[in-house]
Each structure stands twice: as C-alpha cells, then as structure tokens.
Amino acid sequence: MKPFITHTGIAVPLDRANIDTDAIIPKQFLKLIKKTGFGPHLFDEWRYLDHGEPGMDLTQRKKNPDFVLNQARYEKATILITRENFGCGSSREHAPWALEDYGFKTILAPSFADIFHSNCFKNGLLPIVLHSEIISQLFKSVAAKKGYTLTIDLENQCIILPSNEKISFEVDAYRKHCLMSGLDDIGLTMQHSENIEAFEKTYYQKNSWLL
C-alpha cells in the first residue's frame, strides 16, 4: 500500500445519498479474484446504458452521457465528493478496491457506513467526514469551476481550497499513522516478522511432534 501524505487532484461531485456497495461495484463483478481490475466497473450500472458482466469488451459498451464520471471535465478526477451514508449495504471490500483502482485517493462525505469506512483505510483510501453544509458548498464550488482542485493534507488534517482557505477534518490517530506509513493489516503484521519467526522457532522446538 502506498503512503498517503498529501494529495492534490480534481474533485468530482456525485450528488446522491445512501450509495450502497452494490452500486459502487455490482455483485456480478465479485467473481474476480484479484484486488485489481475493478476500476473499469466502478458504478457500472450508472456509467453504462447496458448490463455489464465480467469479460465484456468495454469499448463496445455505450456510456451514459448523463453520469458525472463520463463527463470530460471530470475525466481525471481523484477526489470524490458525495452525500451521507456512502458505502452502505453489504460489507464487500471490493467497493474500496474499485474506487482505488479507478484512481480515487479520497472521498468527502457527511457520513460513511462503518464497515466501508474501515475498509477504505485498509486499502489506501482516505474517507473524510465533513459537515453537510461544507459538502453542499463544495458541490457549488465544483459546479462553478471546471477543473476544481483540492489538496488533501493528511499530516496537518486539512483540505486546502483553491483560495488557500483550509478546512480541518478529524481522523483516527492510528488510522492516520497506517495511511501515512503505507501499512495495511499485512504490513502491520510484517513489522513483527522477527518476533514471529523467533516464536515459531521456539514453539516448534518445544513441540517437534507438530512438524
């Protein structure tokens, strides 16, 4: 997992509340067994006018011109702004996989579903909770200016607007440390690899019958 210190990117507004994980990555794509390859199917039922299935030739599918991610001005967006209760529904970890694989680095919303919120941190995504009034103002700002860019400063826990105004946000200290250090659950465990190896050596010496 890559460390997250600061990130500057174009913001895209997805003005919907209660977006569930099946909308983020529809269930038919859960057949894929790797963590990569989900990005092309992010919000698949909204991005395309036909029904998608794994293995389809995406170049032959017709995109929905009304869906925000298909608009040219948001083509390179890496910051998602949305409404409350983002990531609700089933606990599939494929949802943050799809968002990260598409290119998103952070998500701004008034609230997140608990399991989705936790899964984001484990997969290198930064979910930021902001007051609904701030989110509404960001929607207006993004709509008013093409290429509206934000800088996310995790170390100082603030969002820097194009005007240089700063918006502070809260983040759990432990999760902040993991993101800034690029540590997922496996990475955290491997920090103790020497102790694990020493324990296993001693354990099997005492219990050789297990070998």
Give the pLDDT of residue 203: 64
CB within 8 A of 49, min separation 6: which ones? 61, 62, 63, 64
For the stretch 140-172, pLDDT in tens is 999 999 999 999 999 999 999 999 999 999 999
Domains of the chain by range and CATH? 6-184 (3.20.19.10)
pLDDT > 70 in the chain, percent: 90
pLDDT class of 121 with cuts at 50, 70, 90: very high
Pick the residue with more confidence: 209 or 56? Answer: 56
On whether the CB atoms of residues 205 and 172 are closer than 8 A, the answer is: no
| C-alpha–C-alpha distance, residues 183 and 204, integer Å | 29
* Mean pLDDT in residue range 120-133: 96
- pLDDT tens digits along 64-76: 999 999 999 999 9
**pTM for the complete prediction?**
0.88
Q: How far is CA 47 from the centre of its chain?
A: 18
Q: CB–CB of 122/129 below 8 Å?
A: no
Task: Return d(Cα 151, Cα 8) in angstroms, integer.
Answer: 4
* pLDDT for position 210: 62
Using the predicted structure, report yes or no on whether residue 207 has a pLDDT greater than 80.
no
pLDDT tops 90 at residue 200? no
**Is the predicted pLDDT of residue 185 greater than 80, yes or no?**
no
Question: Is the pLDDT confidence value at 189 over 90?
Answer: no
pLDDT value at position 157? 98
Mean residue pLDDT of the chain comes to: 91
d(CA 102, CA 24): 11
Closest CA to 28 of 15, 44, 39: 44
Q: What's the whole-number mean pLDDT along residues 30-40?
A: 85
Q: 94 near 30, Cβ under 8 Å?
A: yes
